[in-house]
Structure 1
Amino acid sequence: MLELPDVYLFNPSCDFAIANGSKNWQPNKTLQKMEADLAVLPMLFAKQSDFVLVDELPASYFLETMQELGFTIPRFILKKEPGENRLFIDEPKNRLLPWGWSPAAHKFLTPLKQSCSPGFQNSPVFQWCLEHRDISSRKFAFEILKEIINSTSVDWFIGNAQLPIICYAPSDIEKAIADWGTLILKAPWSSSGRGLQPITKTPIHPKVWEKINSVISEQGFIMAEPMLNKVHDMAFLFELKNGCTRFLGVSHFFTNNKGQYGGNWLNGLPENQSKELTDFIQKCIEVLTQPLINTIDNSLMAKHYEGVFGIDTLIYRNMHNELRINPCLEINARHTMGMISLRLEKWLGADKKGVYKTFYQPGTSFATFKKMMEQKHPVKISDGKFQSGFLALTPSNESAQFGAYLLV
């Protein structure tokens, strides 16, 4: 029996769309440009028969290069087609797979829903509902965190005194400052390290209060967490289907000094990490995976979500210099860059370390960066696996400001 195609859409601004709530929401120009330049990325998940929606069809040179290197090339189709191409609209499909669901994503993909499989039409993500907004918030992640701590008897989880608090008013934030000194404020709906506001000085500057009050006004509350002595970021990756959670693996990622996503380590950590840290990470994976599955399976998420998702954790040192973990810092009910890193690892030589990163340097095009990196790091492949070198994973036409790449 012929397998029906899935339809992919790269819309990582979905968290902001959820926060806004309007089905007519549009990302700002920078986010629109990022989504356009990186639109081909879902090809890393796609089969040959699948569709990937893009703003501009990728150049044949890019596709030929990717094919020669062993990547599957799906069918690319312009984003305007779901609204006007009757042949595409009516073609039988399996599932619609945006990077993440939101009211705006549902509106955009609605014309394609009638030609999807009964399995997808009966899934919990076929229509938007308020529970989808709830499970995408940091408040839901906080509830899961408390469940995991209460159900798992270990002494190396984050302590009660360091647990996040929900702030509904400036007075709640002032109390948190009194308790913790320095802290970080997080918008309930935001992603990839955006929506973060570190508080390291008091009194808080009026302009910062303005931003904080704006989040509380728009989203209802803001989350506060103490500043911790971070050592490592790790995400547990899962797929949820028919109310059952399946473990896919872990991804090790890093952030910039503002807490925004920087990239992923591939095939484990760099070799210069201490044995203390690598042993602790292994212990976390062994002990945490099943409690995370059990907690999600018994939560609102199991009833109202289907698809892949990631749970970010944070490994840090406490005041006694001991390693500890926050086992559920946030839940990303969508695709994540960690999922891409997991897919890329199968193309790496077994003993090779690498990094997956996104590119954005105002004033420098991705094409310029790619040319420089290819000269410095030519690709070497043997037995169909990457051994070393730089590979652009997105097109590098002169107008591309954003990019994604693999460096081995």
Structure 2
Amino acid sequence: MKLYVFNPDTDMAMANNEENYMAPASARRMAQDLAILPIWYAQPGSAVLAPSAYNADFLQRMKNVFSLSVQLVTEPELPDYADSQIMPWGWNPAFRKRMLKGGIAVRKLLTTDDLSEYRGLSSRVHTIFLCLIFDVHKVDYVCGKHRLVEGNGKEVFSDVVAKGFGGSYVFKSIWSGSGKGLRWCRRGLTKATADWCKRELNEHGAIIVEPIYDKVGDFAMEFYSDGQGKILFTGYSRFITNEQGAYHGNILISDVEVEQWLRQYVPLQAVVNIRECLQKGLETIYGESYTGPLGVDMMVCRQEGEHPYAIHPHVEVNVRMTMGIVAHQLYKNFVTPDSEGFFSIDYYSSNEALRTQHEQDTKDYPLIVENGRVSSGYLALTPITPQSRYRAYMRI
């Protein structure tokens, strides 16, 4: 049996790389509030690890409305599922220790050597390798470059990192994701950012620096690596970020509609060429070293030159489950065809504020379900409890 676990702190835990890592309180709250989220993307006949309080009743209600063949497993029950195939949001040493301590058989978990290799595969450094592959194959309608800054953190010179970037650039941590670990320099390098860079260089030995592009919109290509050398394309996702690059939510539309959106800016054949080149690059890096889902974030950008628009095809590679894959599965399995909507994770400063918004959305957008699929309305994808600060929802 496959046992799914939502551990959204995995990027931070991977950066820390210690088995005794403890996530910040906000990340622990998110993991608690949204523990049952995997029911929406788990394979039929599998299980999801979550507390029974509130989640058991919520799951039963969802089963009464949707075609869900998933069961709930609580932490004390883990020894009964010792031989399950563990399907986390992402792997890291602290998660491995948690599963081992909970009763999962050691043979069902990644080894420490596996985790070390996985950490290397999760590094943003690989975006540089992908960039080189696109340069070698001379793929048209492509933009995007990354530069690796290495050293011991003694000095970071703005004239060095900004060279060729027009004085407007962004620094990225080696290990982070979902718009985190970014420092934006729109008017040169500030002392606060220089100090941040020094800390990153001292801790991890390197950072990434990139130009700030004239972005039109965000999207991603989602893949699955079979661990045998093949990278399979599973679909697109369109998403929205804030000005700091942090994830805000996904637009729920079909793959065909994503391609129609892209065709406003570049020919469809260019999108196909980019996807095929990317698959070859991913197979080289991840094909035989990683088994599981991965998503590649991209941007449509305005540019000067022969083509007014281009695609940045390797903004970020997420070697784990992604919100884009969740959104793709939601639309594919639980939304009526030709409908569209929005999927998001919201945080509220108080439970009262969350409950007020939830009740208002329930009233303003009444849910209509036809043959197990949402045709319109608001649906909370996790229970809203007296302790909740986070909610996952879709509105069609």
| CA distances 1:12-50 after superposition (whole Å, capped 9, x unpaired) | 211111111111111111111111111111111224542
Greater mean deviation of Cα atoms: 368-377 or 72-81: 72-81
Choose which of 334, 337, 346 in structure 1 pairs with 2:323: 337
Q: 1:244 is matched with which residue?
A: 230
| CA distances 1:146-204 after superposition (whole Å, capped 9, x unpaired) | 113312x333111xxx5111112543544123532111111111111011110122351
Structure 2 residue identity aligned to 1:19 = A
Q: Alignment partner of 2:343: what SS?
A: strand
Give distance in 2, aligned partners of 1:340 and 1:361: 22
How many angstroms does 1:298 deviate by? 2.0
Give distance in 1, aligned partners of 2:276 and 2:68: 33
Change (3 A) 1:393 1:146: same
Structure 2 residue identity aligned to 1:18 = M
**Does the Cα contact within 8 Å between 1:187 and 1:196 map onto a contact in 2?**
yes
Change (3 A) 1:274 1:250: closer
Choose which of 178, 184, 188 in structure 2 pairs with 1:202: 188
Q: 2:364 is matched with which residue?
A: 376
Choose which of 138, 146, 170 in structure 2 pairs with 1:164: 146
How many angstroms does 1:115 deviate by? 7.9
Change (3 A) 1:342 1:270: closer
Give distance in 2, aligned partners of 1:318 and 1:298: 29
Give distance in 2, aligned partners of 1:7 and 1:271: 33
TM-score norm. by structure 1 comes to 0.87
**Does the Cα contact within 8 Å between 1:125 and 1:306 map onto a contact in 2?**
no
Residue 86 of structure 2 is aligned to residue 99 of structure 1 = no
Q: 1:64 is matched with which residue?
A: 60
**Does the Cα contact within 8 Å between 1:361 and 1:401 map onto a contact in 2?**
yes
Give distance in 2, aligned partners of 1:97 and 1:272: 28
CA RMSD of aligned residues (A): 2.7
Change (3 A) 1:203 1:79: same
Change (3 A) 1:73 1:359: farther
Give distance in 1, aligned partners of 2:259 and 2:274: 21
How many angstroms does 1:319 deviate by? 3.2
Q: Alignment partner of 1:128: what SS?
A: helix
Identity of aligned residues (%): 25
Give distance in 2, aligned partners of 1:154 and 1:304: 26
How many angstroms does 1:77 deviate by? 2.4
Choose which of 194, 216, 219 in structure 2 pairs with 1:231: 216
Change (3 A) 1:76 1:402: same
How many angstroms does 1:136 deviate by? 0.3
- Unaligned residue ranges in structure 1 (runs of 5+): none
Q: 1:74 is matched with which residue?
A: 70
Q: Alignment partner of 2:231: what SS?
A: strand
TM-score norm. by structure 2 comes to 0.89
Q: Alignment partner of 1:387: what SS?
A: strand
Give distance in 2, aligned partners of 1:263 and 1:399: 23
Structure 2 residue identity aligned to 1:308 = P
Q: 1:114 is matched with which residue?
A: 105
**Does the Cα contact within 8 Å between 1:51 and 1:74 map onto a contact in 2?**
yes
Matches within 5 A, 1:323-362: 323-346=309-332, 347-362=334-349
How many angstroms does 1:105 deviate by? 1.6
How many angstroms does 1:7 deviate by? 1.0
Give distance in 2, aligned partners of 1:229 and 1:69: 43
Q: Alignment partner of 1:51: what SS?
A: strand
Change (3 A) 1:60 1:145: same
Structure 2 residue identity aligned to 1:374 = T
How many angstroms does 1:400 deviate by? 0.5
Matches within 5 A, 1:166-181: 166-168=148-150, 169=153, 170-171=155-156, 173-179=158-164, 180-181=166-167
Q: Alignment partner of 2:162: what SS?
A: helix
**Does the Cα contact within 8 Å between 1:266 and 1:355 map onto a contact in 2?**
yes
- Unaligned residue ranges in structure 2 (runs of 5+): none
Give distance in 1, aligned partners of 2:56 and 2:74: 15
Give distance in 2, aligned partners of 1:360 and 1:224: 29
Q: 1:406 is matched with which residue?
A: 394
**Does the Cα contact within 8 Å between 2:170 and 2:183 map onto a contact in 1?**
yes
**Does the Cα contact within 8 Å between 1:252 and 1:268 map onto a contact in 2?**
no
